[in-house]
Amino acid sequence: MSDLFAARSQMALSLGFHIIFAEIGIALPLMMVLAEWLWRRTGEDVYRQLARRWAKGAAILFAVGAVSGTVLSFELGLLWPRFMALSGPIIGIPFSLEGFAFFTEAIFLGVFLYGWDRIPPAAHITAGVIVAISAAASAVFVVSVNAWMNTPAGITSVAGQITEVDPVAGMLNPSTFQQALHMLLAAYAATGLAVAGIHAFVLLKKRDSTLHRRAIVLALSIGAPAAIVQPISGDISARTVAQWQPIKFAALEGQFDTERSAPARIGGWPDEEARRTRFAIEIPKGLSLLAFHDPNAEVAGLDAVPRELWPPLLPVHLGFQVMVGLGTLMALVSLWVAITVIRKRSIVGNRRLLAALAIVTPFGFIATEAGWTVTEVGRQPWAVQGLIRTADAVTPMPGLIVPMLLFALLYLMLGVIVIVLIARMVGETT
């Protein structure tokens, strides 16, 4: 295994582990605050129980997310020093703001956890609201860094030397809005539907539980709207990628040739030697319509650049298909929920709907992992699009397979601990 591959594998493992906990950490505080607000408003003790349980879950995941996030910050400096030398003047501000949001979240999470019956109700709910806002803000600041790596702005270099830096323009680069929107919606949809799915599974066996009835409705109030809106965010993302990263767009769609009225493809297997995507279902003019809202628009293909600038096609294309497929299923189940509510029928009384919710429980997190594969692998061979290649950004230090294996063991241990703790919490409610 080369040192470059070991470094990339370590970052992939770290990001893949951290993003799940970060995602839950964005949505769960909002759910716990909403549960407490309903308790204060209705007086039903079941909402207080939910608020306390979800607060415990948020604390556990916050702690694990803090550990994995700290590891990531060290990895950026240790594994990718040349990337940091180039990008430091730009990403320093958003990372500093993320640190401020993180510490704000930590402080007020402590207030929320230990403030029950010790501070006024309004102050306690306010602390929870600050936790929810800080978690979302933290995600936005971090995502703005990744967005800058995809569409760098605010930096001028001549002969490899930085001559001008505008950190604000870097934060507000062309990809920031769509990536932040997509990430936040993904967090709310994945977490909301996962929590609803767990309670749906229990309700299929034990339908007389008031706690699970209230929990599933509350979780769906967060997850279902986000899942329904997510395809709109996906459309915005697709058009942004088509405009600013046309080669990534060609890779995720399996588009080898530059052409007008390009077809969209469902499924398929990209064959690099034959330069075609085999076994795909093609929708005439669909890709041009998706990318530019014009069925006759020209879509750049992989043939627009030399082959050494192609990203790995198979993981990018398959990752995109998985993300879109699972996201579509989540949106359809959420529409089913919305129609059930509009028709004033019981969600809990519909066993088929409960079964569907139980099935889609992990879909949001799988879709997130697939989506980040598309984002990161689709940018290769660039660490920062058009500015520095990944092979040039890695540290010259040898033996990188050793820290990769050590961190893999660390994440395995953390994962087991989290699963055991969360399983115990869920078990307390069944």
Q: Can you tell me which residue has the tokens 């309004």?
A: 122
pLDDT higher than threshold 60 for residue 54: yes
Residue 311 has what DSSP assignment? P
| Buried residues in 246-285 as b, exposed as e (16+ CB within 10 A) | bbbbbbbbbbbeeeebbbbbeebebeeeeeebeebebeeb
| Mean pLDDT taken over the chain | 90
CB atoms within 10 A of CB 59: 16
Least confident piece of the model among 63-72, 279-288, 292-301 = 63-72
Domain locations along the chain: 185-396
pLDDT higher than threshold 60 for residue 316: yes
pLDDT at 1: 66
pLDDT tens readout for residues 125-180: 999 999 999 999 999 999 999 999 999 998 887 766 677 888 899 999 999 999 99
Strand partners, 282: 265
Query: Cα(229)–Cα(335) distance, rounded to whole angstroms?
Result: 10
Beta carbons within 8 Å of 74's beta carbon, 6+ residues apart: none
pLDDT at 212: 86
Beta carbons within 8 Å of 423's beta carbon, 6+ residues apart: none
- What angle separates helix 3-42 from helix 363-377, to the nearest 10 degrees? 140
pLDDT at 430: 54
pLDDT tens readout for residues 194-219: 999 999 998 888 766 788 889 999 99
Contact (Cβ atoms closer than 8 angstroms) between residue 155 and residue 67: no
Q: Can you tell me which residue has the tokens 């930096």?
A: 155
Minimal CA–CA distance to 64: which of 28, 117, 32?
28
pLDDT tens readout for residues 57-82: 888 888 888 878 888 888 888 889 99
pLDDT higher than threshold 80 for residue 307: yes
Q: Which run of H or of E encompasses 426?
A: helix 401-428
pLDDT higher than threshold 80 for residue 351: yes
pLDDT higher than threshold 80 for residue 295: yes
pLDDT higher than threshold 80 for residue 423: no
pLDDT at 159: 65
pLDDT at 428: 61
Q: Can you tell me which residue has the tokens 């915005």?
A: 236
- What type of residue is 429? T
pLDDT higher than threshold 90 for residue 330: yes
Q: What's the rounded mean pLDDT across residues 21-36?
A: 93
Query: Residues in the chain, how many?
Result: 430
Q: Can you tell me which residue has the tokens 């209230």?
A: 214
Query: Cα(44)–Cα(50) distance, rounded to whole angstroms?
Result: 11
pLDDT higher than threshold 60 for residue 242: yes
pLDDT at 74: 82
The distance of Cα 346 from the centroid of its chain, to the nearest Å, equals 31
Contact (Cβ atoms closer than 8 angstroms) between residue 102 and residue 138: yes
Minimal CA–CA distance to 376: which of 188, 245, 236?
245
What is the model's pTM? 0.93
pLDDT higher than threshold 70 for residue 429: no
Q: What's the rounded mean pLDDT across residues 33-53?
A: 92
Beta carbons within 8 Å of 355's beta carbon, 6+ residues apart: 200, 204
Beta carbons within 8 Å of 306's beta carbon, 6+ residues apart: none
